[in-house]
Structure 1
Amino acid sequence: MRIKADRDVCIGAGQCVLTEPAVFEQDDDGIVVLLTDQPDDQVAEAVRDAVDLCPSHALSIDQE
């Protein structure tokens, strides 16, 4: 699993950070920052939830 974040599309809602703070963070402007683009299996379900919850669809998952 590889996560992609389109920072140009992000609106800073923060749902990703609330859902999985070990993978997602926000910069000073509230825009998503990936702490890792390849999370371990322990947080995979939460990452999927974060992608689904993103209101601007700035997050996606690439299944390699």
Structure 2
Amino acid sequence: SAATKVERFIEKHFILIAQTEGFLELSIEEIVELLSKDWLHVESEEQVFFAAMRWIEHNPERSQLMDR
């Protein structure tokens, strides 16, 4: 299905996707769902952490989400 193809693309290219403007515009629900996936192809969990921090820092109002 198309959804499966999209998930596989994200899985393989997470680091590139995390650097896009579109990634920064994701909702909290979308970012939590994406970052909680076990299948992300990353060299370390640090890369996921830094992607999350970049997302938070993009919008100062998101800093309150750090408590989650």
TM tier, shorter chain? 0.3 to 0.5
Higher RCO, 1 vs 2 (CA within 8 Å, ≥6 residues apart): 1
Structure whose alpha-carbon radius of gyration is higher: 2
Q: Say which structure is richer in helix.
A: 2
Q: Say which structure is richer in strand.
A: 1
